[in-house]
Amino acid sequence: MAELTAVVGIGQTKYEAKRLDLSMPGLVRDAAEKALVDADCSWADIDAVILGKAPDLFEGVMMPELFLNEALGGAYKPMLRVHTAGSVGGSTAIVAASMVQSGVHDRVLCVAFEKQSESNAIWALTISAPFSLATVAGAGGYFAPLVRGYIRRSGAPEDTGIRVAVKDRENALRNPLAHLRLEDISFDLVANSPMLWDPIRYLETCPSSDGACALVLENESLASKRSNKLAWIHATEMRSEPTMFSGRDQVMPQATLDNAKNLYKKAGITKPREEIDCAEIYVPFSWFEPMWMEGMLITEPNQGWKMTYEGATALDGDFPVNMSGGVLSSNPIGASGLIRFAEAARQVRGIAGEHQVDGARKALGHAYGGGSQYFSTWIVDSAKP
């Protein structure tokens, strides 16, 4: 039987376009220090450090974990770096959790970051393989044709994506850490923003952010001594599939469906929409909210857009999604998945401030990456399983 594991500390930097006040080590240390304060721990209390970030090609710094480990108090301790493209923040939390669940360590620090001001993600994601023509400009270039495919098959109204963007950007106004906080956000502002990768508009797209997020995870014997509200990990799940194969459903990949099924099975959830109180989902382009509502089996195939349309995913809806403002409002890529996992934990701990869902007890954290081919998810709960 695996050790029960809880999230006892959460730290986040302020997310901004350019954190010129912090170096890369400063950025990760800022988030880690805040997580230690929240967990009432010192560096000496940490048994191991798990670090995640997106491809090294972004900042052009090879193996940054080697020089960041010392900024994270990791000298002489076990240290691992995780990478699974955009889902890496989620996978980092899952690897850290498995260290505790397996009984290998009692208390683990996990940190994920990206410093996009020092990076060129569009360049790094525009793959120019030898002997072929490069046509896909950045992640938006890859996902826009899939969004078009989703609209065609679901018959979703064309303004569904705009509605998601308005909702997430309104939520961000309640989150002081969010990067993009547009006071004048409105349907028309999003609708009239330029088409970047048709059908994806500028304001339906995530920003480029600097930032880091950190969690402290503990086993049951340590966590049970605490008197404050914790987030207990009920289940974690990771899945992958190839980027391209004949007949691959790129809009609704098998890996997301398998991931959701197994996650709920492990967590003892049979009716996810009713049993889960809120979710932080990886939505880098607005249309991925309805797509992943289906991909996470929250609703039936081709019905995800109705949840957005009917306000179910709003902060006061029956299934709030992206209470923090989501990836659309803050996107330090490598950290983005961990921020989703952290927000799920904040919600069930009741410490999400202005974007708290009243009475949230069970929450879903979700991340995906690559060509919709890596999925990392967890279920956290204010009570032990």
Partner 1 sequence: MSDRQMDGDKPSEHDEDVTLLRVPVSLDYDYSAGVSASRFLRGIEQGKLLGQRCPVDGRVYFPSRGSCPQHAVTFGDETVDLSDKGTIVTFSIVRVPSANIPLELPYIAVNVVLDGADTILMHVLDANPEDVHMGMRVQAVWKPREEWTTSTANILYFRAIDEPDADYDQYKEHI
- CA quadruple 276, 278, 282, 286: dihedral sign: positive
Closest separation in Å from C-beta 132 to partner 1? 5
- Contact map string, positions 189 to 218, toward partner 1, x by CB under 8 A: -----xxxxxxx------------------
Closest separation in Å from C-beta 146 to partner 1? 7
Closest separation in Å from C-beta 201 to partner 1? 10
Question: Distance between CA 315 and CA 319 in Å, rounded?
Answer: 8
Of 159-167, 207-215, 239-247, 317-325, the segment contacting partner 1 by CB under 8 A is 239-247
Query: What is the arrangement of strands in the sheet containing 107-115, beginning at the earlier edge strand?
Result: 79-82, 48-52, 107-115, 210-219, 5-12, 231-240, 374-381, 362-369, 278-280
> Other C-beta atoms within 10 Å of 351: how many?
14
Closest by CA position to 241, among listed 128, 129, 375: 375
Of 92-100, 126-134, 214-222, 268-276, the segment contacting partner 1 by CB under 8 A is 126-134
Nearer to partner 1, 55 or 138 (CB): 138
Closest separation in Å from C-beta 242 to partner 1? 4
Question: Distance between CA 217 and CA 244 in Å, rounded?
Answer: 36
Of 117-125, 278-286, 318-326, 343-351, the segment contacting partner 1 by CB under 8 A is 117-125
Closest separation in Å from C-beta 134 to partner 1? 5
Residues from 130 through 189 that contact partner 1 (CB under 8 A): 130-138, 140-141, 144-146, 148-149, 152-153
Closest separation in Å from C-beta 75 to partner 1? 27
Q: Coil, strand or helix: which one is 133? A: coil
Closest separation in Å from C-beta 140 to partner 1? 7
Residues from 41 through 70 that contact partner 1 (CB under 8 A): 60
Question: Distance between CA 355 and CA 174 in Å, rounded?
Answer: 6
> Other C-beta atoms within 10 Å of 227: how many?
5
Nearer to partner 1, 34 or 201 (CB): 201
Please answer whether residues 328 and 110 qualify as being in contact, where contact means their C-beta atoms are separated by less than 8 angstroms.
no
Of 105-113, 163-171, 238-246, 357-365, the segment contacting partner 1 by CB under 8 A is 238-246
118 makes contact with partner 1 (CB under 8 A): yes
Residues from 249 through 268 that contact partner 1 (CB under 8 A): 249-251
Closest separation in Å from C-beta 282 to partner 1? 20
Q: To which H or E segment does residue 5 belong?
A: strand 5-12
Closest separation in Å from C-beta 188 to partner 1? 20
102 makes contact with partner 1 (CB under 8 A): no
Nearer to partner 1, 126 or 356 (CB): 126
301 makes contact with partner 1 (CB under 8 A): no
Strands 278-280 and 362-369: parallel
Question: Distance between CA 1 and CA 4 in Å, rounded?
Answer: 9
Q: DSSP for 237-284?
A: EEEE--S--TT--SSS-HHHHHHHHHHHHHHT-S-HHHH--EEE---S
Q: Partners of 112 in the beta sheet? A: 52, 213
Six token digits for residue 365: 């954290």
Tell me the number of residues near partner 1 by CB under 8 A.
45
Nearer to partner 1, 137 or 351 (CB): 137
Closest by CA position to 211, among listed 56, 369, 338, 324: 338
Closest separation in Å from C-beta 121 to partner 1? 10
117 makes contact with partner 1 (CB under 8 A): yes
Contact set with partner 1 (CB under 8 A): 18, 20, 60, 117-118, 120, 122-123, 126, 128, 130-138, 140-141, 144-146, 148-149, 152-153, 194-200, 242-251
